[in-house]
A and B are shown apart, each in its own frame.
Chain A
Amino acid sequence: MDYNLLWFVLVGILFAGYAMLDGFDLGVGALILGVKDDQDRRLFYNAIGPVWDGNEVWLVTGGGALFAAFPPVYATVFSGFYLAFMLLLFALIFRAVAIEFRSKEPWLWWRRWWDRGFCAGSTTAALLIGVAMGNIVWGIPLDANGEFAGTFLGLLHPYALLMGGTTVALFMMHGAIYLHMKTEGDLQARVREWINPLIIAFIVCFSLTTLATLLYVPRMTAILRAQPALFGVVVLLVLAVANLPREIHRNRDAAAFLSSCATMLLLMALFGLGMFPHMVYAVPNPEHSLTAYNAASTQKTLKIMTLIAAIGVPIVLAYTTTVYYIFRGKVKLGKDSY
């Protein structure tokens, strides 16, 4: 395994980590208006309270790793998707401060407005992340210097929007499963009623996306045709999704949540398999594409980064697990709560 491949995988893992973790708190945000009672909403906020900003660090670190390992990819995508990423930033800022400010004052209007902001920010962020992914899969116009040659509106084509919708459905499903794990009693029963419709919504969106990919972006499945053993990933993915209603039905919250995480990880794996070695696929001139080899930092930097990751990641995983362990179980409101 060369360093370029290793960093292609590691960047993918960081973004998959982001999807698994921030995915549920973005999903909780999208669902917040689904309950009306203030206590119930506070339970939602506090279910993600201790962990949401740690989750967002996965995005920051993923972005940093992309910058370090593949600077041209970072530069082209971030400047090319300028307006989309600015909207994403505004959405992320808004939801972050909504969590922070919302319960600081008891006024009804204050809380209602921040709840709306939290919902809008979270949903927009999920949608934009999906649209960006959709464009990466579809391919974007690049010139001979590897610079983006399209427009903002050009990024909003049906395939990208479909991927955006799929991401929103996926995060809402993931968020509901997380909430099911963190709530109890009557509230949990209500959350439970959302889960199956959300699973169905996700399956519908995902099936459409898959069909569209097979029809219009056949290169994404080339590797599965070349190496049929990799079809195992698809099998695992379908099993992970099918396992969700089963675990919920058996009241095994944690297993359902892990199954949902596995779904995201496997989706990311399929995405990575389909893309490799491309990181930004150029249409209509594939020869302008940025790959893990023509757009990478030097081997020396990749080696240094590997060392940094080898030291840092185990430590991060150790205390992230510890924090999740300390805050395990049902969420209760106390005087330190939001």
Chain B
Amino acid sequence: MNVVGYLGSLAFGLAAIGSGVGVGIIVGKTIESVARQPELQGRLQSLMFLGIALTEALAFIAIAIAFIPFAAPAAG
């Protein structure tokens, strides 16, 4: 049995680990802060979405790199 695939998808999986951890930390900290100061929720939420957007950009760069046609993989 042999496994055939494209290495780019593996690379995306690895890159997604980093963004996943980052987004998790951001959301967790936001929840902590809202628990401490519920009146700041609106402001904190917009900051949270900003942080998520900046963090997950790294994962999207990884997807985009998978679309760049480097040397064609050898058939077989």
* Bound pair (A, B): no
